[in-house]
Structure 1
């Protein structure tokens, strides 16, 4: 038997009364109608004395709460007068008087506290309100009615939460799309504030869905990110998932991108997961989003890339895929420092790469000692962050030198 049918049976039994009980009820109703205004006023006064958050509310919101309390009293008396009506229509008769915006001013926990205050006010006066012999009848009616109020409150807040969640998801998708395509950037801070965004630095993570349920994957990522203390926006673009994180301030800024991304990487589908560079705020996050998405497209060219991988570690592949930002970055960060350091370093690197990374062959071609070559190679590694004797480092350096020469 369902909970709903059980509750309906209770109301039917409640309505099935003898003539004496009906007379007692009628007398109690008359007393309730005379005291209705006083009860509502007493309930509001008790809220002001017991609930500190109620005292801090605006006068308009307090007046709405008072109106809801009065409506609740009136609806209870009307229902108590006619028990054959079955379940009371709480949502319409009580909460229908208040604007929808009130659910934003009053939380579900606060609503429960208010209901408790009203129950206390009514129960404290049951002896005076009930006709002789009707005390138990009134007390049971109050308990049944307040239970319905509690259920209706939960339904209202559940619907509001669902609507808010759907609106948040649409706004998140809009922000992610704006960051990726670079339009409507002037509204990003406003949109972020609407979602409670406050964290910096900001990073982007891009990965594949891999056949997972899209909404389920996004929910898992959001939950894990918020549990770690990050602000999070997540959007689905076909089979691609793009996540923007406002990183928890506990994370070291230098290592924040990888430290924040690593726990989330397993929630993406199979394939590469690419992390964009850290930026200072949400309005600058388009750089991180575009870098991450560009890296995701080009990561197929590096099958052995770690997971997750920084988009800056995919610069050569992004250049080959036509990313002009990656081309500029590779030239500025690798070729320009080498060129500024003087021709010996560039010449040594070029000869070293052309001669299969052989120290001796490079030394012979340059007419220098092998130790000189070693020293120059270590200087190159210090300047660029890429080791010429490493396969990956040699690839990045070769690409940077070629691009730098083309621009020169």
Structure 2
């Protein structure tokens, strides 16, 4: 009977029935209801079904099929001509079925919930180790298999950061994951959240005609979110292996940081676009010395160094055109010219002189990267 019920639902393991059939037979014969211990046993069988990978629907169908087959063979039903006896037996059996199935599903649900939490913990630990890049390489490669990742391939990392609200990332990650999987396939693709940002990893050789790059895809999908604030996306360069993933992530993370410090207008930042800034930051004592030597005297100006530094930044962004600088700063040309002259007087460097312009521009970029004058310059060690 139990094996027949198992075949009815595609071979679900018979062991999941446990003492269920005797409970039904006892209920039909005596009307006895299962006690708490017996129902707890059914709950454990529900947990076992989840551990075996049996779907909740199949487990429930097994119990219903077994009840149907048992009912057809119960002596109280087959031999009795008393309809009242049959009704009483049916009520008792249905009551057991109801309680047993409910407890089975409860046990199954609890087990699945714990398994999901455990899988999420493993996934988050794996992502942290992968992006950190200091874990065992062989171990990472083995742990990557359940997530469909081949650490032998070249991968690239993209980071998406909301302009202000950190909770936007959690709300957006589901929709973004579906879009990335549809774009690059369900192998070697990973989308998660970390430190309030969305992390997306795809193979570097993904080529989808007409779909653009990974960064373009993220920006387009994030732009479709309801009440979503502006996003900035940074994409690291592709590298092979698990260390390559960490390296690409570090480039993307550094790109987001630099974009904020430099106040870049472009919402899509590619690591190769920031190489010159990385060169500037490679020797912080040297760039700090440059900032101090070239721009340090701006702190003596009325209102501090901030307004004059903003003028220089707009001047270089405008291609050293005074009229365009005035338009961007909402000032008169005369006011901008006065500020540029004041800068030359205080620093000894004339930003309008082509021979000195590069030095001043490099110092301005260094100041933005180091957060000066809002933060003190790093001391020379």
**TM-score after normalising by structure 1:** 0.54
SS of corresponding position for 2:158: strand
1:121 aligns with 2:121: no
SS of corresponding position for 1:194: helix
Distance 1:93 1:121, change over 3 A: same
1:289 aligned partner: 249
Q: Is the 8 A contact 1:72 1:94 kept in 2?
A: yes
CA distance in 2, matches of 1:289, 1:263: 21
SS of corresponding position for 2:19: helix
CA distance in 2, matches of 1:71, 1:86: 11
1:107 aligns with 2:107: no
Q: Is the 8 A contact 2:239 2:245 kept in 1?
A: yes
1:113 Cα shift? Answer: 3.1
CA distance in 2, matches of 1:283, 1:137: 69
1:365 aligned partner: none
1:251 aligned partner: 208
1:301 Cα shift? Answer: 4.1
1:261 aligned partner: 218
1:73 Cα shift? Answer: 1.5
Distance 1:114 1:97, change over 3 A: closer
Match of 1:232 among 166, 183, 190: 190
Question: In the TM superposition, what are the counterparts of 1:301-340 in structure 2 within 5 Å?
Answer: 301-322=261-282
Match of 1:168 among 114, 119, 133: 119
1:92 Cα shift? Answer: 1.4
Q: Is the 8 A contact 2:46 2:104 kept in 1?
A: no
2:341 aligned partner: none
1:222 Cα shift? Answer: 4.1
Distance 1:92 1:297, change over 3 A: same
Unaligned runs of 5+ in 1: 1-41, 55-64, 325-355, 358-394, 400-408
**TM-score after normalising by structure 2:** 0.57
1:195 Cα shift? Answer: 3.2
1:71 aligns with 2:19: yes
1:273 aligned partner: 233
Q: Deviations over 1:193-213 (max 9, x none)?
A: 233447976432223353343
SS of corresponding position for 1:205: strand
Higher relative contact order (CA 8 A, sep 6+): 2
1:207 aligns with 2:160: yes
1:44 aligned partner: 3
1:171 Cα shift? Answer: 2.2
Q: Deviations over 1:145-199 (max 9, x none)?
A: 3333333333233223322322232223222222332112322222222334479
Q: Is the 8 A contact 1:43 1:118 kept in 2?
A: yes
CA distance in 1, matches of 2:35, 2:215: 56
2:90 aligned partner: 139
CA distance in 1, matches of 2:205, 2:213: 9
CA distance in 1, matches of 2:221, 2:32: 56
Q: Is the 8 A contact 2:130 2:245 kept in 1?
A: yes
1:236 Cα shift? Answer: 2.1
Q: What is the aligned length?
A: 278
Q: Deviations over 1:30-53 (max 9, x none)?
A: xxxxxxxxxxxx1213423x3445
Unaligned runs of 5+ in 2: 285-318, 321-357, 363-381
2:292 aligned partner: none
1:195 aligns with 2:147: yes
1:151 aligned partner: 102
CA distance in 2, matches of 1:317, 1:148: 67
SS of corresponding position for 1:234: strand
CA distance in 1, matches of 2:273, 2:92: 70
Q: Is the 8 A contact 2:33 2:92 kept in 1?
A: no
1:242 aligned partner: 199
Cα RMSD after superposing both structures: 4.3
SS of corresponding position for 2:52: helix
1:39 aligned partner: none
SS of corresponding position for 1:94: helix
SS of corresponding position for 2:234: strand
Q: Is the 8 A contact 1:68 1:95 kept in 2?
A: no
SS of corresponding position for 2:208: coil
1:220 Cα shift? Answer: 5.1
1:264 Cα shift? Answer: 4.4
